């Protein structure tokens, strides 16, 4: 390894981690690092088990081993700063709270090398944390491409570690609004179903996966539009699984307006409302992370930020409400 090492951490594998994969073990004992970054570190030779380099993330641990994790100095970022307009709701020396528009990807990935939120952050902010991975500076948590809403970004590694721990330990408050069809069968529901990658489609997730992880979602009916076979839900998530809200709602027979990946079809709406779907921005669906609460990583003060749904989303609601008033 030619890279300079920023820090080396040592962990002893307890009995509770017997038969656990190496990558999962490190993700559980050091949640400040993303799972994908941990996988990269293992494959690049930065992890030793009992003083021997192990490059297999799937290596099973027996219990009692000593795992050594070396974190290299951050590489020079090759990402380009791009003048993409974003709303910065709050900023200080440690964090920035931003609004992610619908249809924009959070960080670069194959097929999305530019035009991401990270490219915008590099342009607008004077510093970002590096321990989330070279392609994810500042990114502590994510929103799907189609989701709009509030995100907190770390401007240094210390803030990143503290915020990541809060998300891992479920100390944050994450609230969403979703326009769904059909309406839910109950005005309040807790969905406590594990989620894992779908066997039939690797780009999707499912509650029927054999390798599912704990996931919990709670929702309340906020507003009903029976004439449009739709409803607006206020949602709280307790875990942060990929596609969690979309998967959990789909498991209960609902889908979010515009979310064709998880069952949305125009034909589910009465004909007179099907054209409203065209108001959604390209690559988006009607899901908004409208509120985010967390403790400031340095001052420990509780902070809470709210945003309105995008104007296109509000227009859909107004049209549905107008029709509701007309028909009553």
Start-end of CATH 3.10.290.10 domains in the chain: 5-71
pTM for the full predicted model? 0.76
Q: What is the pLDDT of residues 285-318, one digit of tens each?
A: 999 999 999 999 999 999 999 999 999 999 999 9
CATH assignment of 87-167?
Answer: 3.30.2350.10
Q: What per-residue confidence (pLDDT) applies to 325?
A: 53
d(CA 71, CA 5): 6
- Residue 226 is given by DSSP the state G
DSSP structure string for 255-319: EETT-GGGT--GGGS-GGGGGGGGGSPTT--SEEEEEEEEE-TTT--EEEEE-PPPHHHHHHHHH
Q: What is the pLDDT of residues 220-265, one digit of tens each?
A: 999 999 999 999 999 999 998 989 999 999 999 999 999 999 999 9
d(CA 221, CA 184): 8
Instruction: Tell me which residues are annotated as active site.
Output: 144
Q: Which CATH architecture has domain 174-291+307-327?
A: 2-Layer Sandwich (3.30)
The pLDDT mean for the chain works out to 90
d(CA 155, CA 159): 7
What's the alpha-carbon Rg for the chain, to the nearest Å? 21
Give bridge partners of residue 237 from the DSSP assignment.
217
CB 247 within 8 A of CB 194: no
Question: To which CATH superfamily is domain 5-71 assigned?
Answer: RNA-binding S4 domain (3.10.290.10)
């Amino acid at each position: 390894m030619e890279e300079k090492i920023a820090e080396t951490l040592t962990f002893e594998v307890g009995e509770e981690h017997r038969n656990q994969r190496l990558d999962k073990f490190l993700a559980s004992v050091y949640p400040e690092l993303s799972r994908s970054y941990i996988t990269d570190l293992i494959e690049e030779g930065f992890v030793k088990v009992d003083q021997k380099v192990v490059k297999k993330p799937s290596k099973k641990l027996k219990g009692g081993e000593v795992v050594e994790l070396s974190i290299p100095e951050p590489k020079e970022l090759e990402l380009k700063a791009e003048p993409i307009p974003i709303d910065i709701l709050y900023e200080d020396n440690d964090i920035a709270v931003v609004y992610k528009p619908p249809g924009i990807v959070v960080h670069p990935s194959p097929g999305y090398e530019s035009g991401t939120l990270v490219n915008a952050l590099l342009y607008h902010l004077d510093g970002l944390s590096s321990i989330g991975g070279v392609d994810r500076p500042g990114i502590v948590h994510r929103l799907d491409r189609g989701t709009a809403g509030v995100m907190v970004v770390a401007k240094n590694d210390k803030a990143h570690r503290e915020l990541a721990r809060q998300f891992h330990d479920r100390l944050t408050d994450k609230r969403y609004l979703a326009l769904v069809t059909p309406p839910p069968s109950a005005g309040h529901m807790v969905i406590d179903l594990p989620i894992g990658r779908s066997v039939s489609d690797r780009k999707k997730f499912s509650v029927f996966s054999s390798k599912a992880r704990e996931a919990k979602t709670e929702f309340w009916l906020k507003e009903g539009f029976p004439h449009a076979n739709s409803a607006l839900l206020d949602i709280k998530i307790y875990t942060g699984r990929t596609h969690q809200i979309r998967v959990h709602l789909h498991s209960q027979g609902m889908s979010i307006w515009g979310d064709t990946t998880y069952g949305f079809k125009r034909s589910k709406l009465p004909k007179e409302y099907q054209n409203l779907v065209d108001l959604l921005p390209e690559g988006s669906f009607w899901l908004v992370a409208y509120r985010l609460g967390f403790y400031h990583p340095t001052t420990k003060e509780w902070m809470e930020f709210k945003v309105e749904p995008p104007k296109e989303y509000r227009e859909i609601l107004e049209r549905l409400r107008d029709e509701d008033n007309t028909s009553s």
